[in-house]
Structure 1
């Protein structure tokens, strides 16, 4: 859906509604996983192709954010140097390793949950709830411009808590280990925002993409262990 305008108000609203969009993206992936399994595809092949569908649906924005964030965190120098590396657009060794590991873990986890593809809906919703958590009140932007500057610190505490409590309740209905994975994902994102504020001076749009992939992967791993 096209936005009539792109400003701070529109972006704040988009972040607030991001978990709903995540559920829609997860539903698309769940349909792909179910269809591939129904066609008799081996579980790992179905998992890999479903990951490819998710990347295509999101135009690779979040995996690109993951790659740039890992490269920025892995470089030496002051925050300005790290932000320049992230903006460069190339993929360094840290980015390559991170992408292989994260996408590989997602594919293997999806292979394990192929009998219950709706778990992917929850995982993607939690991933986008990471946007809300990372944009909570008090979180700064690393740059004066860009997506981070429009949304950093924009989400009220009550909304952050509401989304995560709803998703935690949904996870409890699936399995206690999935619920534990949702709680772990929240903890990891709190640690991530603390670290990037110390390392970069705040969040960026790339950090939001990395947060989404980290949270989604954590929930999928928890589901695979059930």
Structure 2
């Protein structure tokens, strides 16, 4: 479990940790289950940036942009890179090999740039709206943590991988479906508590979770249809899209 914890923190955050002593699915599977817990410091960072900006009387949109920027720095923009590469790959060609080759290059094309602008725009706009709530910054931090539960779906057993090599191959099929379901049940309870914290009705929590799961299911389904399976880039895209869905539904 120590190796899995190091794996999760080292992969999903910029927090320096010792590398795991061993790899394989025995480590990567639990690491993906621990993903929401591993990014608690990033959720706290977002909440504190939002709180500080609000207390200083700064423009909500600017504060939200700063918080999203801090989150990107805290994850080395790893997931944003995956979002851009996934968008470029899915729009490059209907040929699977060509699409996968485009995703490997790392260059950002028109589709990738547009996806970054649109998804970050949704995140920033929704987050600025949450600043008007008394405990809105804390809810935002909770949703950042919850969004990382997306990897429990993309890494679930039964979801095929598009490649036999690459970073994503380490995680593909590493999480049992029952474990993934349990993770999301716990995240639903946490999200519901977050909405109760801001004096919203309890059903807003399950509704937000449903929105995030729907978005993740769509991107995974599209990746399987077009690419033959998921890749590490798809994992990152699912995280960013689920965060956008969670934040927007919270408004």
TM-score, normalization: structure 2?
A: 0.85
Q: Which residue of 1 aligns with 2:162?
A: 142
Q: How does 1:54-69 map to 2 (within 5 A)?
A: 54-69=71-86
Give CA-to-partner distance per residue, 1:28-77, whole Å, 9 cap, x none.
11111111111111111100110110011001000000000011111113
Aligned residue number for residue 4 of structure 2: none
Contact 2:82 2:235 in 1 (8 A): yes
Structure 2 residue runs without a partner (length 5+): 1-16
Q: Which runs of 4+ in 1 moved over 4 A?
A: none
Which whole-Å deviations, capped at 9, do the CAs of 1:190-224 have from their partners, x for residues lacking one?
22212211211111111000000011110000112
2:171 is aligned, of 147, 151, 173, to 151
Q: What CA RMSD, in Å, does the superposition of the two structures yield over aligned residues?
A: 1.4
- Partner Cα distance (1:67, 1:6) in 2: 31
Separation in 2, partners of 1:178, 1:111: 19
Greater Cα offset, 85-94 or 1-10:
1-10
How far apart are residue 187 of structure 1 and its match? 1.8
Partner residue in 2 for 1:10: 27
1:75 equivalent to 2:92? Answer yes
Query: Superposition pairs for residues 38-187 of structure 1, below 5 Å?
Result: 38-114=55-131, 115=133, 116-173=136-193, 174=195, 175=200, 176-187=203-214
Secondary structure of the residue aligned to 1:117 is helix
| 1:196 aligned residue (202, 213, 223) | 223
For residues 77 and 159 of structure 1, the distance between their equivalents in structure 2, rounded to whole angstroms, comes to 34
Whether the aligned pair in 2 keeps the contact of 1:21 and 1:128 (CA below 8 Å) is: no
SS at match of 2:149: helix
Q: Once the two structures are superposed, what CA deviation does each residue of 1:64-106 show, in whole Å capped at 9, x if it has no partner?
A: 0000001111111311100110011111111111101111111
Per the alignment, residue 208 of structure 1 pairs with 235
Aligned equivalents of 1:165, 1:4: Cα separation in 2: 28
Is 31-40 or 175-184 further displaced after alignment?
175-184
User: Is contact 1:168-1:183 (8 Å) kept?
Assistant: no
Indicate the larger mover: 188-197 or 201-210.
Answer: 188-197
Q: Distance in 2 between matches of 1:2 and 1:128?
A: 21
Number of aligned positions between the proteins: 224
Given that residues 64 and 127 in structure 2 are in contact (C-alpha distance below 8 angstroms), is that contact kept between their aligned partners in structure 1? yes
